[in-house]
């Protein structure tokens, strides 16, 4: 049985006041929630502040981050390393988000290097994959997600997916309010798991596959009721304590 993981990607949103308010609210909302890992990924600058607040809440929340570099130190201006993230208490690190693939031209191979470096440093990669609207309409979803996963398998080997997380995020559903249907998401998730199973059934059986793309309290339960949807990567709805907590509670309820 896979334990669900619900992760909030705050993206480029935050201030010291906002972090305090959101995490105080979340600490209260999730205090009694069991059976789900609830992860937050604030902007890197606020991870340290968030760590203090997570501790005050009894460490019910898990700390994550939105990106990493592929070096631990040196002349890499502006970057943040796995060692630094670990030093601040972050464990679950998003890589390959479509916004980074698009705005920072991150290739499948570069994302695979990040995956490998996170594993080397004992951190949990949250590998985002997913197709564009045009690729979806052209029937290329399976080809795109296979290519993105294969880049990691080729670089790191299939065993690297042990303990890792995949977030299937159709790009057209991110921040648009136009979520994939639960049925369509389940179909792609089952395909992803079967694709991994071609290399290792054991790895496929344990890997967490989250859905991401306009997940809200209103539609969350329908996703989690599907056997291959093990949680969610949540953007907009993770910026409000009550809506993010409602999504986490839905995951706990569906997978209990
Ligand atoms: C995301 O940024 O990963 C995401 C899924 O955003 P949203 O929930 O706002 O669609």
pLDDT tens per residue across all 256 residues of the chain: 899 999 999 999 999 999 999 999 999 999 999 999 999 999 999 999 999 999 999 999 999 999 999 999 999 999 999 999 999 999 999 999 999 999 999 999 999 999 999 999 999 999 999 999 999 999 999 999 999 999 999 999 999 999 999 999 999 999 999 999 999 999 999 999 999 999 999 999 999 999 999 999 999 999 999 999 999 999 999 999 999 999 999 999 999 9
- Alpha carbons 44 and 17: distance in angstroms, whole number: 16
- Alpha carbons 102 and 248: distance in angstroms, whole number: 29
Q: Which of ligand 1's atoms lies nearest the C-alpha of 11?
A: 2
Candidates 29, 99, 106, 169; catalytic one: 169
Q: Which residues pair with 65 in a beta bridge?
A: 93
Task: Record the pTM.
Answer: 0.98
- Alpha carbons 174 and 237: distance in angstroms, whole number: 11
Ligand 1 center to residue 235 CA distance, Å? 3
CATH of the domain at 222: 3.20.20.70
Q: Is 97 part of the annotated catalytic residue set? A: yes
Residue 59 marked in a binding site: no
pLDDT value at residue 23: 98
Handedness of CA 55, 61, 66, 69 (dihedral sign): positive
Task: List strand residue ranges (DSSP E) for 33-107, in order.
Answer: 37-41, 61-65, 92-95
Ligand 1 center to residue 214 CA distance, Å? 6
Residue 177: Cβ within 10 Å count: 9
Residue 9 marked in a binding site: yes
CB distance 186 to ligand 1 below 6 Å: no
The residue whose CA is least distant from atom 8 of ligand 1 is 235
pLDDT value at residue 1: 84
pLDDT value at residue 27: 98
Domain that holds residue 118: 5-255
- Alpha carbons 38 and 33: distance in angstroms, whole number: 9
Candidates 97, 106, 131, 189; catalytic one: 97
Q: How many domains does the chain have?
A: 1
CA 206 to chain CA mean position, Å = 16
Residues in CB range of 134: below 8 A, 6 or more apart:
none
Residue 178: Cβ within 10 Å count: 12
CB distance 170 to ligand 1 below 6 Å: no
- Alpha carbons 93 and 164: distance in angstroms, whole number: 10
- Alpha carbons 31 and 58: distance in angstroms, whole number: 8
Residue 10 marked in a binding site: yes
Q: Is 21 part of the annotated catalytic residue set? A: no
Residue 163 marked in a binding site: no
């Amino acid at each position: 049985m896979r334990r669900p993981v619900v992760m909030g990607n705050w993206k480029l949103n935050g201030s010291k006041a906002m972090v305090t308010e959101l995490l105080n609210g979340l600490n209260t909302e999730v205090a009694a929630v069991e059976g789900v890992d609830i992860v937050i990924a604030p902007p890197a600058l606020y991870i340290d502040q968030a760590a203090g607040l997570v501790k005050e809440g009894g460490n019910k929340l898990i700390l994550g981050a939105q990106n990493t570099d592929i070096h631990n130190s040196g002349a890499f201006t502006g970057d943040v390393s796995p060692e630094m993230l670990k030093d601040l208490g972050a464990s679950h690190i998003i890589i390959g988000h479509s916004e980074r693939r698009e705005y920072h031209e991150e290739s499948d191979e570069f994302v695979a290097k990040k995956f490998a470096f996170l594993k080397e440093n004992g951190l949990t990669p949250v590998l985002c994959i997913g197709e564009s609207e045009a690729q979806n309409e052209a029937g290329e979803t399976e080809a795109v997600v296979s290519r993105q996963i294969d880049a990691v398998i080729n670089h790191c080997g299939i065993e690297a997916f042990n303990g890792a997380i995949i977030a299937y995020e159709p790009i057209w559903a991110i921040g648009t309010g136009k979520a994939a249907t639960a049925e369509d998401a389940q179909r792609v998730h089952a395909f992803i798991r079967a694709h991994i199973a071609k290399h290792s059934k054991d790895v496929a059986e344990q890997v967490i596959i989250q859905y991401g793309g306009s997940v809200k309290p209103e539609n969350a339960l329908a996703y989690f009721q599907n056997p291959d949807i093990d949680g969610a990567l949540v953007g907009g709805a993770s910026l409000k304590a009550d809506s993010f907590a409602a999504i986490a509670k839905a995951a706990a309820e569906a997978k209990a």
